[in-house]
Amino acid sequence: MKAMIIEGYGGAELLKMSILPVPQPGPGELLVKVHACGVNPVDYKIRQGLLPLGLTFPIILGYDISGVVESIGPGVESFVPGDEVFYSPELTTPGGYAEYHVVSEAIVSLKPDGLSHAEAASIPLAASTAWQALFDRACIEAGDVVLIHGAAGGVGSMAVQLANWAGCEVFATASTSNREYVEELGADVVIDYTSANFVEVVREETGGQGVDMVLDTVGGDVLARSFETLAPHGCVVSIAPENLQGASMEALRAAFFKNAELHCLFVERRRDTLDALARLLERRFIEPLVEEILPLDKVANAHGRLETMHGRGKIVLRIVEE
């Protein structure tokens, strides 16, 4: 099968097309014909060697897959060949920059009705992260006030839609050029982080009460200052273990007198999360946000864009023409 691989850590120029044997499904596993594969920041972070995952070369990146079950291994209970599925491969296993992919059925869900493979491949990683942050960790409810950092990004844009669906009042930070986009996603108050201090804006707009939950997609100083925006018993969920060196734990002082919580989230691949998202996608409560579709051999372009731009929506690789 065709696959884009890397044989060492470094720049996007290391990505190269290769021919590899089609993998075979073991017990509890599916062989999936990959139709589309989403590209995420974690792809270039692994390519650069920034994550200590203990992988061996050649590495196939790509952690958002939509495709069709080609065959099943022994003991598979939930899927048959021909099923259209979507999922996020574990980071410790081969990814989806390839024509075929083997995955444990435990982390796979049926592709939402009405979505193309490209649309479905934009969902699993970012939307599961947003879902688990909002609902599994922060347990947000209708009427809660939430603040979402980096609201135009992959996780942030899904979080804004999900929090809006849940009936929350949504504060969101974004750059000037993404203000309108984030408003259209459902944010009630968009804070332009290039010109405004989000701590002050939240204080003013909530009459000093603060927000019930902050989703931090940035880390470092943004994480540290987020505690100042919390209401009593509020919580920060962070998905960004970056830029922490320079930030002092002194920032936590504000959290004590508020009985606040910090949840450090590393998304878990779970079928139940995907099942929930599929229902909302089918009912159009949330929308896939595909910005660009590229062929597999142009994946280096996608990496370049993710590394250098304040992007909106997702870039998806099309492996099979629909």
Q: Which residues contact a second copy (rule: CB under 8 A)?
A: 137, 220, 223-224, 238, 241, 244-253, 255-266, 268
Q: Which tokens in the block code for residue 199?
A: 């701590």
| Close Cβ partners of 213 (under 8 Å, ≥ 6 residues apart) | 134, 138, 140, 144, 145, 146, 147, 234, 235, 236, 237
Q: Which tokens in the block code for residue 280?
A: 């909302």
Cβ 240 to a second copy, closest distance in Å?
Answer: 8
Cβ 151 to a second copy, closest distance in Å?
Answer: 21
Q: Which residues, listed in sequence order, are joined to residue 109 by a DSSP beta bridge?
A: 86
Nearer to a second copy, 76 or 107 (CB): 107
Nearer to a second copy, 253 or 310 (CB): 253
Cβ 76 to a second copy, closest distance in Å?
Answer: 27
Cβ 171 to a second copy, closest distance in Å?
Answer: 22
Nearer to a second copy, 112 or 234 (CB): 234
The C-alpha atoms of residue 22 and residue 207 are separated, in whole angstroms, by 59
3-state class (DSSP) for residue 59 = strand
Strands 65-72 and 84-87, by their bridges, are antiparallel
Residue 288 to residues 23, 121, 181, 277, Cα–Cα distance (Å): 30, 9, 14, 11
Q: Which residue is associated with the tokens 């009985």?
A: 259
Cβ 224 to a second copy, closest distance in Å?
Answer: 7
Nearer to a second copy, 13 or 268 (CB): 268
Q: Is 165:286 a contact under the CB 8 Å cutoff?
A: yes
Q: Which DSSP helix (H) or strand (E) runs through 101?
A: strand 100-104
Cβ 32 to a second copy, closest distance in Å?
Answer: 27
